[in-house]
Structure 1
Amino acid sequence: MDERAIRVGVFPYEHTQALLTGEVPIEGVTATVEGAPIVSDVFRRAVLGEFDVAELGLTYFLRMWDTAQRPFVALPVFPNRNFRHSAIFVNTDSGIERPGDLTGKRIGEFALYGHDPGVWDKGILADEFGVRWEECSWVIGGTNTPLPAFDWLPLPAPAGAGIRHLEEGRTLNAMLEEGEIDALISVDVPRALTEGSPRVARLFPDYERVERDYYGRTGIFPPMHLVAVDRELAADGTLLRAVYDAFCTAKGQVEQRYLSGAVKQHMSLITPWFSSLFERNRQLLGDDWWPYGVRRNRKAVDTFLRYHFEQGLSETMLTIEDIVAPALLDT
């Protein structure tokens, strides 16, 4: 009997490369695994129905959840995660010296109102610093290159939010440097900062210390993306387990490579003092510092789901048990 054929879309991270090359197969199926140079291209193709299994940003998944079709169920696989205090940038003439100063300001946001880092940062700013998104105005667009609105995705506009999309041909980087916006939340670092402009700075200059403290207090290493499966396949628990196991194996191989490399002080890498950073990260995050599964990610995912609802982007308050395929709730 021929194996079932499935199409898989995922960005080529180091911990997904073995899936893309076929070194790690998905047992019991014939999988065609494709990447893309820009991760949002994977999202777009998934939303348009070109994949059976695909990486999706958390907000992209949730926006589709609230459609009549509700096409996806989540797998507890999180291929992209990052601490996001480092994703907030300010104009140095704006008078913003601390997080609370963002209240009432005009803030740019990359790609869409409520992109994944934006949801995290708005939530953290509200929880820890009392900054409410409703009290700010928002300009949406591309950070370093012009970016049209994502017309292939639902774009909910929460009541009371002052939101507009940037005019054609303009960038948030230029607006921030010129003072037309006071701050920016963006997955992409504005070019003005990387090029040394004195007019742009991070809100948290010592962001590593702040983010390590955040993890130490909360235990949250913020996930940005998950892996979604077409709802019609979700009833096949054997297939879902095989997909989950393959992602875990590919990630585990990379983690083990770093752990083994510590013996030789990671001599295969060209980053000085990497072993010192790696050891500090292990002390804080443990040997499985990029966890998959429901148990290790429940608090982080539930926090994002709460933020998404509070920011007017979800119709109902969800938990991780609501969105993850039942066959994988034991992970």
Structure 2
Amino acid sequence: MTDRALDIAFWNYDRTRALSDGRVKIDGVAARFHTERIVPLIFEGMIRRRAYDVSELGLTYFLRTFADGPSPFLAIPVFPNRAFRHSAIYVSEASGIRRPEDLVDRTIGELALYGHDAGVMPKGILSDEFGFKPERSRWIVGGIDFPMAPIDFVPQPHPAEVRVTMAPAGTDLGAALEAGEIDALISADVPRCVLEGSPKVRRLFPDYEAVERDYYRRTGIFPIMHTVVVARELAEREPEVVRAVYKGFCDAKSATTEELTQGITFNNAALMVPWLTGLLGRNRALLGDDWWPYGIARNWAALDAVLRYHHEQGLTKRRLAIEDVFVPYLLNA
């Protein structure tokens, strides 16, 4: 029997590399793997051109495809990109912002689009824990210090009471933050001024790792940025293929997990990251031995939070449920 040919796209992550380099095979599938210079180009290919059968998608990009009814995609519970996001909020020293409550009536930049994946979670956390209301700030959306085309392939809604403007082409929001032209910035990517240690900028939460670890202890949420979607027709017509794809992603992640945990014996000498063994130990103590879980059960709280925030922030007309967006036969995965 001929294997099913599938085009599968994702960025070059360690947890997917065993698929693209052939160490892990997807049973019954002849896979052609694709990637791009930056991950939004993968999203654009899937959404605009249906370029792939299976593709990584940022959660907000995926959820916006439900704007006019059922999405052409369904997700499998694979999460190649996740990150704690208290650390994604930067402030200008000139702004005088010291606490989350000081963000009121300020001009805040946001990378790429209003409600990008690394923006939804910080806004939701600030709202839940500090009473933050996006409508009480001014928002400017644009790029930072690397070339990136405008995101024009998904709807970009926002509530009427939230003041959002697009920055002129070529604007560097990181530079604007350093110059004091904006008061704060929420960005998935670290602006150059922060990387270079400019004294004019800092994170809203300077000891962000401690804050993020405390957040996980209290909520059990390891925020999810991206998932993997399949064409809805494929999910409905070929469930065994989709199950095999899910297993392949799980096996690839397990291969990397095993490499890192076995490497502890040798102080992870293969990787030039000082103190990595200690970090892995602290992470496993907090997050568990499977510290980057796939499946619905281990991720219910994180998924429910982002779906709630997406609706509360006016990015989806209705409050989508987990059952609306994931392949039904993998809900118990």
Q: Please report the TM-score for the alignment, with normalisation by the length of structure 1.
A: 0.98
- 1:102 corresponds in structure 2 to 103
Counterparts in 2 of 1:51 and 1:201: CA distance versus 1, 3 Å: same
Alpha-carbon contact 1:159-1:312 (below 8 Å) kept: no
CA distance in 2, matches of 1:223, 1:151: 23
Displacement of 1:2: 2.5
Bigger CA drift: 264-273 or 224-233?
A: 264-273
Specify the alignment match of 1:35 in structure 2: 35
The 2-side partners of 1:303 and 1:25 are apart by 33
8 A Cα contact 2:74 2:235, kept in partner: yes
Residue range with higher mean Cα deviation, 271-280 or 143-152? 143-152
Cα distance per residue 1:132-186 (max 9 Å; x no partner): 1111111001121364421122211322111111111211011101111100000
Gaps of 5+ in 2: none
Determine helix, strand or coil for the equivalent of 2:94: coil
State the one-letter code of the partner of 1:150.
I
Q: Distance in 2 between matches of 1:49 and 1:207?
A: 38
With normalisation by structure 2, the TM-score equals 0.97
Partner of 1:320: 322
2:173 equivalent in structure 1: 172
Q: Distance in 2 between matches of 1:147 and 1:15?
A: 25
Give aligned-pair identity as a percent: 52
Equivalent residue letter for 1:313 = L
Give the letter for the 1:171 counterpart.
D
Secondary structure of the structure 1 residue equivalent to 2:258: helix
- SS at the partner of 1:89? strand
CA distance in 2, matches of 1:22, 1:258: 19
How big is the alpha-carbon RMSD for the aligned residues of Structure 1 and Structure 2?
1.1
How many residues in Structure 1 have an aligned counterpart in Structure 2? 331
Contact between 2:268 and 2:277, CA under 8 Å: does it hold in 1? Answer: yes
Mapped to 2, the partners of 1:163 and 1:118 lie a distance apart of 14
Which consecutive aligned stretches of 4+ in structure 1 deviate over 4 angstroms post-superposition?
none
Deviation at 1:195, TM superposition (A): 1.2
Preserved CA contact (<8 Å) 1:20 1:35: no
Match of 2:268 in 1: 266
Residue 319 of structure 2 aligns to which amino acid in structure 1? M
TM superposition shift of 1:3:
2.3
Contact 1:108 1:184 in 2 (8 A): yes
Query: Which residue of the partner structure matches residue 4 of structure 1?
Result: 4
8 Å CA contact retained: 2:42, 2:57 = yes
- Structure 1: any 5+ residue segments left out of the alignment? none
Q: Is the 8 A contact 1:240 1:327 kept in 2?
A: no
1:279 aligns with 2:281: yes
1:19 to 2:19 alignment: yes
SS at match of 1:128: helix
Superposition deviation, residue 209 in structure 1: 0.3
What is residue 59 of structure 1 aligned with on the other side?
60
1:192 corresponds to: 193
Letter of the 1:297 partner, please give it: N
Alignment of 1:193-208 (within 5 A): 193-208=194-209
DSSP 3-state at the match of 1:296? helix
Q: Distance in 2 between matches of 1:29 and 1:281?
A: 34
Q: Distance in 2 between matches of 1:291 and 1:205?
A: 27
